[in-house]
Structure 1
Amino acid sequence: MMGGARLVGALALVAVVAAMAATVTGAAAGPRAQTLRFDQLKGWAKDDFAAALSTFLVTCPRLKDPDWHETCAAARLAGDDPRGFFESYFRPVLLGDPKQALFTGYYEPELTASATRTPRFAYPIYRRPPELRPGAVWYSRAEIETRHLLAGRGLEIAWLDNPVDAFFLQVQGSGRLHLTDGRILRVGFDGKNGHPYRSVGREMARRGLLPKHRVSAARIRSWVKDHPDRGMTMLRHNPSYVFFRVLRLAANRGPLGAMRKPVTAGRSIAVDPDYVPLGAPVWVEKTGRNPLRRLMIAQDTGSAIKGPQRADIFYGSGAKAGRIASHVRDGGRMVVLLPVARALAMENGG
């Protein structure tokens, strides 16, 4: 996921819907909200609703608000008619302007690593330092690395053989590490230093170091390899720094999202929880090279995911998923499915 920023409580959902309802009445500034019919969703009838229901069930028990609790209870009994479940218990709500829609992709890297430092494996990933408090601003990436603020403190989880791999592992927020001793270590987001995320690829394009429309992790990796000193300085353009913890997950499960449950390839998205409730179904109409029309579940967040028409699609684990995710930067439309009572309250301005 596009860089960490996890864990938003379900209680925030009440405030989200209240804010959206106020928008309808003009009582507060915010995104335009429009209730739609299901037959207005392009490709709706052709989706795999059983797959969407299965993903919804992973996180719906964490939604404790009464109307969400009711939908979750019904979802457990909807195995024979998943499409009927979504159409009976939800209404589609379009938030914001689809012209501003932006879909990107994220994935879970699979990397070779060592449990100890060696001449080859010299780039560590760290546990969260005990003095770092949630939400506090700590030292920047440049300060952490140039002043060696974490070195020698026993916070190292593993060592990678490439600084760009270590960097992008932080951007994605999770990974599978294939250790040289044969073990597989799953790591996930456990905090950040409080600085905003800045895109290194965008900055390299601005400086003319890479072609604007051909920026990718592979090209950044190659450039840093060819320009090691300038490369490290370039990576430090992003002051955000992410810390990890070791996860105990089955090999066939995805990494943990913001709701502390595994995300599902092709069915989970990261959203801005200021607009889209975590756990909500979201109809995605993504344009571009590989268009998607699919019901996904908002189960994650990301520091670069801002706005009512912004989503990061989880594409899975490994290099293939990474190649696909790195090329996604498309428009389209996303429509949130809200419980009927909430959608009607917004429609009536209550």
Structure 2
Amino acid sequence: MAASSPPLPAGATAEPLEPARVSGWARDDHRAAFAIFARGCQAEPPLRASVPVPAALAAVCRQAGRLASAGPVGPHAARRFFERHFSFWRIRPPAAPTGFMTGYFEPEFEGSLTRSDSYPTPLYGRPPELVTRLPGDDWPGMDAALSAARRTATGLEPFHDRTAIETGALDGRGLEVLWMRDPVDRFVLQVQGSGRIRLPDGSVTRLVYSGRNGHAYTSLGRVLSEREGIPPAEMTMDRLIARLKADAGFARDLIRLNRSFVFFARRDDLPADSGPIGGAGLPLTPLRSIAIDRTVWPYGLPVWIDATLPDGDGGMGRLARLMIAQDTGSAILGPARLDLFVGSGARAGHRAGLIRHPVDFIVLWPTEPGRP
């Protein structure tokens, strides 16, 4: 029986492939991808809800976990596992020949657990009245574009946008989890969705995504590129940050064009060498974890990518390997759109900011669940 293709939004296409036709497949380190996959499709509950994990995928995730717990899985066995339990499908978005990839990272900033003149910018925890729209939720009378709302005595209402929050909408409620040096650092942290904060005593606290206000995300890089005539390919995250840091008033006004506002929680239990927690609720692995559109794809899905990307040192290199979908993002929209987790720190941030490239996006869709 022919394998069933994955469900896709209108206009997108799925081309079946044999593994032998996937360039670079035989040369990958399948053990690395298998080890990540075997940790599970998602935590329960995940940090950010996605479309439900299909029963077939959940079954294969569990089987991988059992194999991993029984002892080391060698490279050949890991490769055969994916070939046996998945069919391969090249995904093409509507009106485009390939997918599109950006990069993200876990930044580190200076901050404090107490407010001061050096650290005046608050970072907020999730307000208790914030309600996140889950896939399939129907909110009559609410803008369909809103992904969250606030619960009131009379029903749901749009949550405060960024400008309202920055001008005091949440003041006096004790929601601050820490303070940062300036709104630009906070903006970068909110774009990346997680981070490390180095406190004045030298210790580090970890931050994980805890929700957002539900308003649409606006790319400030795109806005600045259009306003100042900068070619999109030259509008890197480094260039955007430098422009924002140079003029506090300009930064305030530009940042407020992005009405989306992200909330965080502290996770001091995370090991220092662990990756940040992605939307699936599991630690991310550099250059193996990706963020996908959570309204199209479930967490835990293996995805083969093939792209030529900046190496961060002025050169370009091919990245062809098996990834695991473990995260999502407000700007990651579409069936062949992905965000590559590059790593932690400034070097990873520099490379991540350079990535805006076409990518061959091949989904591994589960078949024959539970086969031994």
Question: In which range does the TM-score fall when normalised by the shorter chain?
Answer: 0.7 to 0.9
Q: Where does structure 1 lack aligned partners over 5 or more consecutive residues?
A: 1-16, 343-350
Instruction: Tell me the secondary structure at the aligned position of residue 77 of structure 1.
Output: helix
Distance in 1, matches of 2:229 and 2:195, equals 28
Q: Is the 8 A contact 2:92 2:361 kept in 1?
A: no
Q: Is the 8 A contact 1:59 1:259 kept in 2?
A: no
Distance in 2, matches of 1:181 and 1:326, equals 30
Q: Percent identity?
A: 41
Match in the other structure for 1:53: 34
What is the Cα deviation at residue 178 of structure 1? 0.9
- The answer to whether structure 1 residue 42 and structure 2 residue 34 are counterparts is no
Q: Is the 8 A contact 2:42 2:300 kept in 1?
A: no
Instruction: Tell me the secondary structure at the aligned position of residue 276 of structure 1.
Output: coil
Distance in 2, matches of 1:195 and 1:255, equals 24
Residue identity opposite 1:120 in structure 2: S
Match in the other structure for 1:311: 338
Residue identity opposite 1:243 in structure 2: F
What is the Cα deviation at residue 266 of structure 1? 0.7
Q: Is the 8 A contact 1:268 1:296 kept in 2?
A: yes
Match in the other structure for 1:109: 107
What is the Cα deviation at residue 71 of structure 1? 1.8
Q: Where does structure 2 lack aligned partners over 5 or more consecutive residues?
A: 44-51, 133-147, 150-157, 310-315
Counterpart selection for 1:173 from 193, 197, 215: 193
Deviates further, 48-57 or 223-232: 223-232
CA displacement 1:220-255 (0-9 Å, x = unmatched): 232223222122101111110001111231112111
Counterpart selection for 2:83 from 84, 87, 94: 87
Distance in 2, matches of 1:161 and 1:115, equals 12
Match in the other structure for 1:74: 63
CA displacement 1:86-145 (0-9 Å, x = unmatched): 111111012234624110011111111111112111111111222222221311111211
Change (3 A) 1:68 1:225: closer
Q: Is the 8 A contact 1:61 1:72 kept in 2?
A: no
Deviates further, 156-165 or 261-270: 156-165
Match in the other structure for 1:128: 126
Residue identity opposite 1:126 in structure 2: Y
What is the Cα deviation at residue 64 of structure 1? 6.9
- The answer to whether structure 1 residue 149 and structure 2 residue 169 are counterparts is yes
Change (3 A) 1:56 1:20: closer
Deviates further, 36-45 or 114-123: 114-123
Q: Is the 8 A contact 2:286 2:341 kept in 1?
A: yes
Q: Is the 8 A contact 1:99 1:331 kept in 2?
A: no
Match in the other structure for 2:303: 282
Aligned length in residues: 320
Q: Is the 8 A contact 2:91 2:99 kept in 1?
A: no
- The answer to whether structure 1 residue 264 and structure 2 residue 302 are counterparts is no
Distance in 1, matches of 2:250 and 2:41, equals 46
Aligned alpha-carbon RMSD (Å): 2.3
Match in the other structure for 2:237: 217
CA displacement 1:309-341 (0-9 Å, x = unmatched): 100000111111111100000102110101124
What is the Cα deviation at residue 218 of structure 1? 2.8
Instruction: Tell me the secondary structure at the aligned position of residue 291 of structure 1.
Output: strand
Distance in 2, matches of 1:77 and 1:215, equals 45
Distance in 2, matches of 1:48 and 1:179, equals 38
Instruction: Tell me the secondary structure at the aligned position of residue 249 of structure 1.
Output: coil
- The answer to whether structure 1 residue 159 and structure 2 residue 184 are counterparts is no
TM-score by length of 2: 0.80
Counterpart selection for 1:200 from 199, 215, 220: 220
Instruction: Tell me the secondary structure at the aligned position of residue 41 of structure 2.
Output: helix
Deviates further, 331-340 or 71-80: 71-80
Residue identity opposite 2:121 in structure 1: Y
CA displacement 1:69-97 (0-9 Å, x = unmatched): 43234323261311111111111012234
What is the Cα deviation at residue 183 of structure 1? 2.3
Higher helix share: 1
Residue identity opposite 1:112 in structure 2: E
CA displacement 1:17-73 (0-9 Å, x = unmatched): 99945x6xxxx8352222110011111111011101111112237697542243234
Q: Is the 8 A contact 1:103 1:328 kept in 2?
A: yes
Distance in 2, matches of 1:226 and 1:261, equals 37
Runs of 4+ in structure 1 deviating by more than 6 angstroms, as ranges, are none
CA displacement 1:126-185 (0-9 Å, x = unmatched): 112222222213111112113x11233211111111321110101111101111123211
TM-score by length of 1: 0.85
